[in-house]
């Protein structure tokens, strides 16, 4: 009985820590939204000042790829598809 309680407490602690990570992730995403807005403003300003420029001011393609990866990781349907192909 005693050993079970110790394992139960360890599991609860583990679960609580895993759930708390979501709060941190949400906070970081809020910060990323602000950074994206600022980057858009900087890009608009740069292109207005340099109308002939083809410079990439911010790496939007790379950022988009990272966001797509995050969406894939969080989408249960994508996990089912990946699991299906990894078992073949």
Structure confidence at residue 21 as a pLDDT band (50, 70, 90): very high
pLDDT tens digits along 52-72: 999 999 999 999 999 999 999
Cα 64 to chain center, whole Å? 11
Cα 19 to chain center, whole Å? 15
Geometric angle at alpha carbon 10, from 7 and 16, rounded to 5°:
140
CA-closest candidate to residue 56, choices 39, 32, 69: 39
Residue 50 CA to residue 54 CA, distance in Å, equals 9
Question: What number is the average pLDDT over the span 12-18?
Answer: 92
Residue 64 CA to residue 56 CA, distance in Å, equals 14
- Of the spans 5-14, 32-41, 79-88, which averages the highest pLDDT? 32-41
pTM over 0.75: no
């Amino acid at each position: 009985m005693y050993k079970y309680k110790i394992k139960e407490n360890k599991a609860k602690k583990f679960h609580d820590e895993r759930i708390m990570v979501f709060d941190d992730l949400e906070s970081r995403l809020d910060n990323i939204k602000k950074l994206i807005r600022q980057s858009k403003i900087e890009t608009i300003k740069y292109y207005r000042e340099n109308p002939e420029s083809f410079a990439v001011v911010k790496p939007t393609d790379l950022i988009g790829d990272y966001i797509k990866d995050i969406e894939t990781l969080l989408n249960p349907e994508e996990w089912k598809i990946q699991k299906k192909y990894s078992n073949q």
